[in-house]
Amino acid sequence: MGKILQIGAGGVGTVVAHKLAQNADVFSEIVLASRTISKCEAIVAEVKRRTGVTIKTAQVDADSVEDLVKLFRAEKPELVINVALPYQDLTIMDACLECGVNYLDTANYEPKDEAKFEYSWQWAYREKFEKAGLTAILGCGFDPGVTSVFTAYAAKHYFDEIHYLDIVDCNAGNHGKAFATNFNPEINIREVSQRGKYWENGAWVETNPHEIHKPLTYPEIGQRESYVIYHEELESLVKNFPTIKRARFWMTFGQEYLTHLRVIQNIGMARIDEVDYNGVKIVPIQFLKAVLPDPGDLGENYTGETSIGCRIRGVKNSKEKTYYVYNNCKHQDAFAETGAQGVSYTTGVPAMIGAMMFMKGIWRKAGVYNVEEFNPDPFMEELNRHGLPWHEVFDGDLEV
């Protein structure tokens, strides 16, 4: 149906490559490019062994528009799926505009020197993509991604007005390491150590990191202490669903994880500015990444499961209603299918489905869009088919 170029060969990239290959009827040609070509080659060999599908590889520095343009001109893909790091979003979008290529990512742009997540930089490309007749699909992982589609699905089918939205993200897995992050450590630590923030009555309310917390009950898992943190989909969801009075994001953390995180911060290892070490400039958090376990390698002994969903309260026909929609994903199942753990899997599968929506012409309109701005129904159907089945609870106790 169409040629796709994937950029990024980490944990999420491993899953995306497997899933693209499993759907070779839609993705008729696949190219995997990243900074370190040996990582692409290792993934491609494994994909070939499991699916029989051949994927071409290429080396690219996605910080360089020039390098990207050269690759896009040589390969002429219809869509680029960006699962490198958020730092590369804008260079890849620039190259897409220059070469007439459509775009999809899973995380919003962040400048390297400031831990600041917001869509303003990418939303600023809307007119340029419109004029070029190109589609850019933003935030198509699990959260953001599936959680945003869940919200759109709830708004479409079950509510006249959504009033309260609580996105709940539990990882009840055990990887057997003292400390490891489930996706890129630099991005992950920047995200979870920042100040908390949620939306209430038309304004953002800031909190100290992890200040608000309570135990929440997750299906098949039980109670886990859950913490309000800021998460990027809140920004687009409150804009696209303006009836929302309060929107929060809750994530579970174990005590061990929080203790390690506090120590890492207290001793300066979470710093994102350059320091001089024996005449060499290093960024402590980048050095830390080099010594922490690679999230892509956590899968083998990872047990337990993730449970991520949306707990929603609102009104339908003037009556108050609650709705909870969620997916549970077992780390071991993800590993058996793709060689990657559950967090990479829950991000990579929706990225492939978003790309499929584009290739089939279902999610295709000129401009820059967050996923909740498209029809959620066909995406929801594909989640059930491709390894992330979802479940619904009507009028239950949301606990929040």
Longest Cα separation, the chain? 68
Residue span 300-339 as binding mask against ligand NDP, x where in contact by CB under 6 A, dash where not: ----------------------------------------
Q: Which of 4, 5, 6, 10 binds ligand NDP (CB under 6 A)?
A: 10
Looking at 148-156, 159-167, 180-188, 257-265, which segment touches ligand NDP (CB under 6 A)?
180-188
CB of residue 68 to ligand NDP, shortest distance in Å:
9
Total residues at the site for ligand NDP (CB under 6 A)?
33
Compute the C-alpha angle 118/122/124, nearest 5°: 110
Is 296 among the residues that bind ligand NDP (CB under 6 A)? yes
Q: How far is the CB of 376 from ligand NDP (least distance, A)?
A: 16
Could you say whether residue 43 binds ligand NDP (CB under 6 A)?
A: no
At 40 the three-state DSSP class reads helix
Positions 186 through 245 that interact with ligand NDP (CB under 6 A): 187
Q: Could you give the string, one character per residue 276-295, with x where binding to ligand NDP holds by CB under 6 A and - elsewhere?
A: -------------------x
- Write down the least CB distance from residue 247 to ligand NDP, Å: 17
Cβ-contact 6, 341 below 8 angstroms:
no
Other C-beta atoms closer than 10 Å to the C-beta of 386 total 16
Closest CA to 59 of 40, 78, 87: 40
Annotate 310-323 with b (16+ C-beta within 10 A) or e (fewer). Answer: bbbbbeeeeeebbb
Reported as type and span, the H/E element at residue 153 is: helix 146-157
- Piece of 70-78, 138-146, 267-275, 310-318 that binds ligand NDP (CB under 6 A): 138-146
Q: Does 183 bind ligand NDP (CB under 6 A)?
A: yes
Residues 60, 172, 228, 352: which binds ligand NDP (CB under 6 A)? 60
d(CA 233, CA 249): 9
**Considering the rule CB under 6 A, would residue 252 count as an interface residue with ligand NDP?**
no
Contact 244, 165 (CB under 8 A): yes
Residue 30: other Cβ atoms inside 10 A: 23
Would you give the binding string for ligand NDP spanning residues 62-101, x where CB under 6 A is met? Answer: xx-------------------xxxx-x-------------
Q: Under the criterion CB under 6 A, does residue 148 sit at the interface with ligand NDP?
A: no
340 is a contact residue toward ligand NDP (CB under 6 A) = no
Assess 143 for contact with ligand NDP (CB under 6 A): yes
Burial class (CB in 10 A: 0-12, 13-18, 19+), 93: buried
Say if CB 151 and CB 242 are below 8 A apart: no
- CA dist 355 and 353 (Å) reads 5
List contacts with ligand NDP (CB under 6 A): 8-13, 34-36, 39, 60-63, 83-86, 88, 106-107, 141-145, 183-184, 187, 295-296, 343, 347
